[in-house]
Chain A
């Protein structure tokens, strides 16, 4: 399957260790994160992460489901950005 850039938007609880858990799930599969942006939302207890990853779309969809299973992840959405190369 073609590799595409997939963008995840994650809303997570603003707690220590959450970023590491989210990133670990992606990097543990050998994917290289192309871009990462983390910041607060209007609700100070919630952070937003925007992550761009280059990878197989089916596997990345699987990652979304596994991210949703995480205890501190409130919501994840993903969308394809563009085909790579």
Chain B
């Protein structure tokens, strides 16, 4: 028998992370994790040093979203731990698998208000699937295995492992388990044959069906099966913001994004449909608008891996709690090929009558939508596009041609400003074969700009596009439309002063190449130069501050109340 080697908890942790399949660890050192950092020298995975713990968390998140693997992050106790809370919440609401390791003061000091002590298992409770507070070094390997299991099974999400310093230092012989055994957590559900039969019958009988796919369809790797079903039965496909990329938007069956800033044809189709096949969606308020007026003519089939989602926001006719991909693959074989010519003709007419479009407001001034169109033209729907939050996020959702799953990364649920730059770093590390473009506003870019250094030092050829309208555009838009143009503290550019900070100088100070575009004629050529560059490059595009995101269904309103301009 092989003799079991005794080593510290810190070494056991690094071994366990390797066994769990970690390829990249994002993090930031501190007093309560020195032992773990000391044992990283022999690690088989890459370590990426962020510049702020929030940035580290978003990097792990971007890595997970673009690869489908678990994002792993390591930070210290106290402020290191509290700084990742926003990152955990962002991953939690969007169902992103993540394992967050935080240092903790020694067990004997917990509860004494020791230096850099924070009750992380308590603080993180509302923004994680689960949090562990390790009690001894012997628990470390098994806890890591359980954390990875919980992060990836059921609806994916973040898990915290809080490890007191003395447990990192103590010796242990504990081994990484062969299999994970969680007594009370068995989130695998399968559809009953009767459910599949009913689902197939509803599909075969529907005259005006719509597939409505969300982030859960991408998380379940169901894009291929979804596409096969849509094409076989000729069912048009709308997606949520999180579902963009689940279905190729070049396919004529694509309706684009539904919801508050969605394509009119997608919202009209849902309003008129007699069957909605919802897969991996939450029926969020940003999509349904006024719930009592939502899809009144339709029977709704809701497929989700999370039993708590079905019947939560809308009452459904058939709820199937199971793996989305399994259900779609299963029903595919029972569905008849179909055509729905009248329904598709009606949709084609909506597409023609109500395209998403914009008009230039001032001659010689770049419209923000134009900047997104230029990015889309150069990247040709193939790049990973990461957004920040606000108007540029919605324009990116509307004007990028989304063709592949896991290539549009956005903070949909939490709406976290500052997500763009660090998440793009994580994505570029996961997919070096693809170009990665972060689209940020001037507000969000300032929240995590320090991470640009990381992109430069890790030699990542990402492009950071700052759509600079000199204001916090989405809030400004709401102030214009619903708050009598009282632009209370949303204008970042002071009258008579140049915009501060100077993004081009700032980027250069961080070691990146940088360009500023003011002239519409130079937009596309600059974008081409930046996206094709072999180094981290920032492009600041000065855009019209008066541009708004349209169409828009105001919060709590119905599709009938859509505003076009």
Contact = CB atoms under 8 A, between A and B. Distances in A.
Interface string A11-31: 011001100110010001000
Contacts of A68: 307-308
Contacts of A24: 125-126
Closest 10 pairs between A and B when the two form their complex, measured CB to CB: A65-B308, A74-B184, A71-B130, A71-B185, A66-B308, A24-B125, A65-B307, A72-B184, A28-B126, A73-B184
Contact of A69 (B122, B125, B126, B308): B308
B83 interface: no
Contacts of B155: 69
Interface of A: 12-13, 16-17, 20-21, 24, 28, 62, 65-66, 68-74
Nearest to A68: B307
Given A13-B183, A24-B126, A62-B312, A69 B306 contact: yes
5 contacts: A13-B183, A17-B131, A62-B312, A69-B129, A71-B150
Contacts of B184: 12-13, 70-74
Q: Determine the interface band of chain B, counting residues with CB < 8 A from chain A.
A: 20 to 34
A74 B183 CA distance: 8
Contacts of B183: 13, 74
Interface in B306-358: 306-308, 312
Chain A binding surface, main DSSP class = mixed
A16 B133 CA distance: 9
Nearest to B159: A71
Contacts of A69: 129, 154-155, 187, 306-308
B497 to A, nearest CB: 44
Interface in B118-144: 121-122, 125-126, 129-131, 133
A20 B122 contact: yes
Contact of B308 (A17, A28, A62, A71): A62
Contacts of B308: 62, 65-66, 68-69
A35 B162 CA distance: 31
B307 A17 contact: no
Contacts of A72: 184-185
Contacts of B154: 69
B129 A71 contact: yes
Nearest to B312: A62
B182 interface: yes
Contacts of A17: 121, 131, 133
Contacts of A16: 133
Nearest to B310: A65
A20 B125 contact: yes
